[in-house]
Amino acid sequence: MAETKRPTSETAEAILGEYYPVLDHGFISLMDYMGTDPTVPTCARTSYGHGTKATSNDKGLVRYLRGHRHTSPFEFVEFHFHCSMPIFVARQWVRHRTASINEVSGRYSILPMLFHTPEAEHFAKQSQSNKQGRSGGLDGSLHEMAAINWSKQRALIQENYEWLIAEDVARELARIDLPLSTYTQWRWKIDGHNLMHFLGLRCDPHAQWEIRVFANIIAGILERGWPNLFEAWADYNFKSRTFSRQEMQVLSKLLIRSGAGLSPSRTELTTENMVEIGLSKREVDEFLAAFDSSKYDKAHFELPETKAFEYFMQDAQAAVPKIDVNHG
Amino acid sequence: MAETKRPTSETAEAILGEYYPVLDHGFISLMDYMGTDPTVPTCARTSYGHGTKATSNDKGLVRYLRGHRHTSPFEFVEFHFHCSMPIFVARQWVRHRTASINEVSGRYSILPMLFHTPEAEHFAKQSQSNKQGRSGGLDGSLHEMAAINWSKQRALIQENYEWLIAEDVARELARIDLPLSTYTQWRWKIDGHNLMHFLGLRCDPHAQWEIRVFANIIAGILERGWPNLFEAWADYNFKSRTFSRQEMQVLSKLLIRSGAGLSPSRTELTTENMVEIGLSKREVDEFLAAFDSSKYDKAHFELPETKAFEYFMQDAQAAVPKIDVNHG
Amino acid sequence: MAETKRPTSETAEAILGEYYPVLDHGFISLMDYMGTDPTVPTCARTSYGHGTKATSNDKGLVRYLRGHRHTSPFEFVEFHFHCSMPIFVARQWVRHRTASINEVSGRYSILPMLFHTPEAEHFAKQSQSNKQGRSGGLDGSLHEMAAINWSKQRALIQENYEWLIAEDVARELARIDLPLSTYTQWRWKIDGHNLMHFLGLRCDPHAQWEIRVFANIIAGILERGWPNLFEAWADYNFKSRTFSRQEMQVLSKLLIRSGAGLSPSRTELTTENMVEIGLSKREVDEFLAAFDSSKYDKAHFELPETKAFEYFMQDAQAAVPKIDVNHG
Amino acid sequence: MAETKRPTSETAEAILGEYYPVLDHGFISLMDYMGTDPTVPTCARTSYGHGTKATSNDKGLVRYLRGHRHTSPFEFVEFHFHCSMPIFVARQWVRHRTASINEVSGRYSILPMLFHTPEAEHFAKQSQSNKQGRSGGLDGSLHEMAAINWSKQRALIQENYEWLIAEDVARELARIDLPLSTYTQWRWKIDGHNLMHFLGLRCDPHAQWEIRVFANIIAGILERGWPNLFEAWADYNFKSRTFSRQEMQVLSKLLIRSGAGLSPSRTELTTENMVEIGLSKREVDEFLAAFDSSKYDKAHFELPETKAFEYFMQDAQAAVPKIDVNHG
């Protein structure tokens, strides 16, 4: 522990350096941070100088900023994470460009033979509606069979990797047949605004489940360490709903402004009416699905029990090939 | 005219190199572009390879992408503009960081003495509701007086600038008292996704009127040269409306999904009800104002008559101080 | 062919849409571009307005800009490529964040079973000096054995992938054991400045050979379509050499300015002298290696014969699993 | 003071919240930071996993990374500053796009009437060699006259600004004739890599003197709080020298590698010889000027005495127009 004059969050400190397990060998840990809940309104108030009245409280101002797309104050909060995830997850994650990454290098290092094995409950069919997703259960015996196949081919891949390393073949070549399920790890740094954008896309049900579980942990960390930022994100981004011009035409037919409030009109609108207004069939389905109050409960992300850093170190260490390299 | 194998838009070509006047001395001209309406769906389809059915037509796919925040295909269209605007407008414009700029340098060059003079109809009071904006007319005589004052102080500033230049004082020093109303000019390059983000913020009524007129011209250029992109932006961004979690709770109370359509409930909700649900008073006002169908007409941006590049060249040339520099 | 008023490069047009083969199944093709050699000086001259003398010719100005780190004019040139490469190459490539990517999705698509097999001549040992690279030949029989192993394990991986797809398992799960040697493809867009930065890092001998061959093709495309930009990059970046403060102290001891030229001093400096000045042993080696005039020949990148797009289409098509999916 | 588990730098803490005066009314203060000297090597070592030997010490590794353009570990250090500077300085500063800014808004606020007045010793002629700079003294009486003129025209500008504010004209309009010498202020956040890039360009003698004094303060803050990062930047960037391909040809003729060291050749090279090799006349001058050992002393940046935040608050407060706004 050190003393600092910097803004400090007790709940963030409580989480700092804790390792949250994700999937079978992955983890997320907050390693460092800059800025706390009050940092965002403080920076925003830089814009309001002399001759203005500062009326809003901190929390209200954060909500206002988020609701009105004033994003720059959120950039003054920074997060530095240590993460480990399968490469197919890392390949989606890396597409968020406004972040910094230092990843373990398969050119320098001998990689631990850690692979992700999906569990039966997350083993599902190709979705027919969501063309990039999954839905619907599969026969349990199919998962058993798949698990046996993964196991077999990974044993073979590992054997060949170890043989090439032992023969002193360049590591950058030895690793080319490692599967996308192999775990990698990296340091990841991102600011508050871009973190919220990441969470908006990756906590979404359209994201692949295996990256969503990572995003959910990060959301849970935000919720505990930066509760005002989390709430503003959850209410104005994550659980918000954007309606297109045509959808707003539909809504404007259904709801009438009446003095101090809003009254439903007498109108009912059918799918056909909405298609006439300009919605596609797919859009009508998505539009109707939006009016389900159960979707708009307060957001909350559970966090699992943490494990010690040493636990993951040993997990990796035990999986590193023990090889006498033949430099001959 | 040259021959090219590149995707080419006839309506963009018709606009290319045309100079649109903005304010008293400003302009916007499309100098170059890459990509046309079909570029976006073509790039998006790179993601859908074998084993997928390509059902949607180009226009439908562009709308789908915009509605579902798949933004990367829009980055494959590029725009290169030549623009001239007052420095106080440039200072807002430059904050859009994902763009490229080459601006005329007051360190190298002698600057033309062109200043922006607001017209009477845009000369307004500080808004009480929108703390950063204006609203409400002012006595015409006030504008007359202001115009006289602008004129006087600019004459003095110009005299001093010319004197310093004539004495061979470094231009980077001679220019420090030029007013923010002085016109500058730059080349500006931006991709389709970031252009749409720029337009979303700068065509908005909350933007200062003097930058909005520039954004409106750019929107008009997009509308003519890239009609599918424009329509998708207008329908899913510019004329869309995002409702917060709490606002969606309100809507879910007012509208009931009924089989093939949506029915208004019997409920009416007053301001008080909405505040109970969690909206602030300001949010209730903004929420109610959203249900005004006149806001959701098809977007359209008028373009003014163009002028020749030479017109603006001469305008600037005539305003450049004619000075014999005393290098002695 | 269409007519355009846009700046057009004949040599770029000649290359546009041509597919250059790279490695065993990869390719690079220039799909679109914005800006030509004169675009860079034209944009740069925007900075020099009235009261300046435009003395330098286009080529000289481009060289000056590159030599003096004036990078923004290079951002006004844009390149749009279609590329296919092994995933382990794509993972290095994607780290260049100031570029746009649309990649084929293994969540939507059934992927072609195309894998990269290193050739014997590029199959090498882990380098002892360059800890991330390779150097030194390997026994030819080792490569034969490796090729057999790659072949075997890929057959097994392919069998399992096809089985999972046939069972209608979600594609995002079926693909998790595909090896890093699997080919992927993407659209890639980048501006001139960032392209040059990419080439500087990826044409470098420290880059993995398998990404270097891609970068070399792109450099060859630049050389033909944008010869002035290429030459400036080659002379001021690629074949330049930066010396640290301590190395400059060494050089200042060895070379004496003499009126109209530079004369060697009488001094000789040994490794020990240089270490005293502050260079590490490794730095002395790298410093000495810099004075080899053969390294500073004019840069030139050969391009291979092009193939038709259809060739690569058929290569991929033939490798896509032919499967009757069991939706049952 | 709070307790934190975060990496903490005692020398950075000593500076935190201190206000360094710059020019007549400007300041720079470090408000927050993330990461310390050891953060960079720690993040870099993430890339070297199992099977590698960690030989280098922290300082050596930071130097190695900087010398070999491994920039991503430097992105894990973040700096948050509070700054005030004249608008013509802010306009140069804002062009560094990979940073975050929250600036005081002339639309919301009444601005303090603080203007920058150049001192006699920095009042100079337009440079003939460096077309964007200044050089050579001016007659002292010219500065006296200039000071009188600045004073007069600013009094007029202030009078008109106050009159418009008093008449309740929108602030976004009232401010349009404020001069570029008016002070603005902002919060500025940037990571270590981009800070070093900023310092490389803005501590350079080619930068306008008025921004250089700000950059020098920031360099001095880096020197004290992050000494290893500072030294690596100073030795491998700020005081380094890059030679073009042609310049390296010259050097390779003048210096011969001899076993364990480097020997001057017998050759002398004149300007004509260098022009034959391909250097322009301007380049020969710049090349010859590089061999001056006095340029390669250890870098050091003095910091002025700090002042209290309240000092600057009062300075600004006293300069805010005291106006009864006529809302009538």
Test A34 with D33 for CB contact under 8 angstroms. Answer: yes
Q: Are A152 and C148 in contact (CB under 8 A)?
A: no
Q: Collect all residues of chain C within an 8 Å Cβ-Cβ radius of residue A150.
A: 160, 177
Q: Collect all residues of chain C within an 8 Å Cβ-Cβ radius of residue B51.
A: 109-110, 165, 171, 320
Chains in touch with D (3+ beta-carbon pairs under 8 Å) read: A, B, C
Q: In angstroms, what separates the C-alpha of C21 from chain A's closest C-alpha?
A: 20
Test D245 with C236 for CB contact under 8 angstroms. Answer: yes
**B135 by DSSP, 3-state: which?**
coil
Starting at the edge strand found earlier in the chain, the sheet holding B255-258 runs: A269-270, B261-264, B255-258
**Secondary element (H or E) of residue D204:** none
The answer to whether residue A56 scores a pLDDT higher than 80 is no
Q: Could you report the per-residue pLDDT of A203-230, keeping only the tens digit for each? A: 999 999 999 999 999 999 999 999 999 9
More confident: A326 or C60: C60
Is residue B90 classed exposed, middle or buried when 0-12, 13-18 and 19+ CB atoms within 10 A define those classes?
buried
From B196, B178, B219, select the one nearest B90 (Cα to Cα): B178
Test A255 with B264 for CB contact under 8 angstroms. Answer: yes
Q: Are A183 and A25 in contact (CB under 8 A)?
A: yes
Chain C residue with CA closest to A156: the answer is: C153
Q: Collect all residues of chain D within an 8 Å Cβ-Cβ radius of residue C243.
A: 240-243
Residue A95 designated active-site? no
From D120, D92, D298, select the one nearest D184 (Cα to Cα): D92
Burial A264-288 (b: 16+ CB within 10 A, else e): beeebbebebbeebbbbeebbeebb
Q: Collect all residues of chain D within an 8 Å Cβ-Cβ radius of residue A6.
A: 2, 4, 6, 13, 16, 32-33
Q: Could you report the per-residue pLDDT of B59-88, keeping only the tens digit for each? A: 999 999 999 999 999 999 999 999 999 999
The answer to whether residue A129 scores a pLDDT higher than 80 is no
The answer to whether residue C327 scores a pLDDT higher than 80 is no
Q: Are C202 and C13 in contact (CB under 8 A)?
A: no
Q: Could you report the per-residue pLDDT of C298-319, keeping only the tens digit for each? A: 999 999 999 999 999 999 999 9
Query: Which of D48, D75, D131, D245 to probe the C interface (max C CBs under 10 A)?
Result: D245
Region of C240 (left: φ > 0; alpha: ψ -120 to 50; beta: rest) is: beta
Q: Which residues contact B248 (CB under 8 A, 6 or more apart)?
A: A239, A240, A241, A290, A293, A295, A296
Minimum-distance CB partner of B43 among C46, C165, C187: C187
- From the candidates A66, A95, A154, A202, give the one annotated as an active-site residue: A202
Q: In angstroms, what separates the C-alpha of D213 from chain A's closest C-alpha?
A: 23
Minimum-distance CB partner of A72 among D72, D100, D112: D100
pLDDT at B328: 58
- Rg (Cα) of chain D, in Å, rounded? 25
Chains in touch with C (3+ beta-carbon pairs under 8 Å) read: A, B, D
pLDDT at C54: 63
Q: Is B260 on the interface with A (CB under 8 A)?
A: yes
What average pLDDT score do residues A47-71 get?
Answer: 87
Burial B210-244 (b: 16+ CB within 10 A, else e): bbbbbbbbbbbbbbbbbebbbbbbbbbbbbbbebb
Q: Collect all residues of chain D within an 8 Å Cβ-Cβ radius of residue C262.
A: 250, 254, 268-269, 287-288, 291
Q: Which residues of D are catalytic?
A: 202
Q: Collect all residues of chain A within an 8 Å Cβ-Cβ radius of residue B295.
A: 248, 252
Minimum-distance CB partner of B94 among D94, D131, D152: D94
From B290, B298, B237, select the one nearest A244 (Cα to Cα): B237
Cα–Cα distance between A191 and A195 in angstroms, integer?
6
* Positions of chain B with pLDDT under 50: none
Test B262 with A268 for CB contact under 8 angstroms. Answer: yes
Q: Which residues contact A223 (CB under 8 A, 6 or more apart)?
A: A230, A299, A300, A301
Test C246 with D296 for CB contact under 8 angstroms. Answer: yes
- From the candidates C171, C202, C241, C257, give the one annotated as an active-site residue: C202
Burial C193-217 (b: 16+ CB within 10 A, else e): bbbbbbbbebbeeebbbbbbbbbbb
pLDDT at A52: 76
Chain A, residues 178-237, CB within 8 A of chain C, namely 178-181, 208
Q: Is A137 on the interface with B (CB under 8 A)?
A: no
Q: Could you report the per-residue pLDDT of A287-315, keeping only the tens digit for each? A: 999 999 999 999 999 999 999 999 999 99
Q: Is A105 on the interface with D (CB under 8 A)?
A: yes
More confident: C51 or A228: A228
Minimum-distance CB partner of A235 among B64, B131, B246: B246
Q: Which two tokens stand for residue D213?
A: 């004094």
Q: Is A57 on the interface with B (CB under 8 A)?
A: no
Q: Collect all residues of chain C within an 8 Å Cβ-Cβ radius of residue A188.
A: none
pLDDT at B130: 72
Q: Are C213 and D215 in contact (CB under 8 A)?
A: no
The answer to whether residue A113 scores a pLDDT higher than 90 is yes
pLDDT at A274: 94
pLDDT at C31: 98
Q: Is D82 on the interface with B (CB under 8 A)?
A: no
Q: Is A129 on the interface with B (CB under 8 A)?
A: no
pLDDT at B259: 75
Is residue A102 classed exposed, middle or buried when 0-12, 13-18 and 19+ CB atoms within 10 A define those classes?
buried
* Positions of chain D with pLDDT under 50: none
Q: What is the 3-state secondary structure (H, E, C) of D270-303?
A: EHHHHHHHCCCHHHHHHHHHCCCHHHHCCCCCCC
More confident: A17 or D137: A17
Per-residue confidence band for C328, with pLDDT thresholds at 50, 70 and 90? low
Enter the pTM of the model. 0.97
Q: Could you report the per-residue pLDDT of A258-283, keeping only the tens digit for each? A: 877 888 887 888 999 999 999 999 99
Q: What is the 3-state secondary structure (H, E, C) of chain C?
A: CEEECCCCCHHHHHHCCCEEEECCCEEEEEEEEECCCCHHHHHHHCCCCCCCCCCCCHHHHHHHHHHCCCCHHHHHCEEEEEEEEEHHHHHHHCCCCCCEEEECCCCCCCCCCCECCCCHHHCEEECCCCCCCEEEECCHHHHHHHHHHHHHHHHHHHHHHHHHHHCCECHHHHHHHCECCEEEEEEEEEEHHHHHHHHHHHCCCCCCHHHHHHHHHHHHHHHHHCHHHHHHHHHHHHCCEEECHHHHHHHHHHEEEECCEEEECCCCEEHHHHHHHCCCHHHHHHHHHCCCHHHHCCCCCCCCCCECHHHHHHHHHHHCCCCCCCCC
Q: Collect all residues of chain D within an 8 Å Cβ-Cβ radius of residue B178.
A: 179-180
Cα–Cα distance between B308 and B155 in angstroms, integer?
28
pLDDT at A51: 79
Per-residue confidence band for A54, with pLDDT thresholds at 50, 70 and 90? low
Q: Collect all residues of chain C within an 8 Å Cβ-Cβ radius of residue B186.
A: 46
Q: Is A134 on the interface with D (CB under 8 A)?
A: no
DSSP A265: -
pLDDT at B55: 64
From C222, C226, C97, select the one nearest B75 (Cα to Cα): C97
- Identity (one letter) of the amino acid at C253? K
Chain D, residues 281-310, CB within 8 A of chain A, namely none
- Rg (Cα) of chain C, in Å, rounded? 25
State in Å, rounded, how far the first CA of chain D is from the last one. 49
Query: Which of D100, D186, D313, D322 to probe the A interface (max A CBs under 10 A)?
Result: D100
Chain B residue with CA closest to C166: the answer is: B51
Q: Could you report the per-residue pLDDT of B235-259, keeping only the tens digit for each? A: 999 999 999 999 999 999 999 887 7
Q: Could you report the per-residue pLDDT of A167-195, keeping only the tens digit for each? A: 999 999 999 999 999 999 999 999 999 99
Determine how β-strand A78-86 pairs with β-strand A183-191: antiparallel
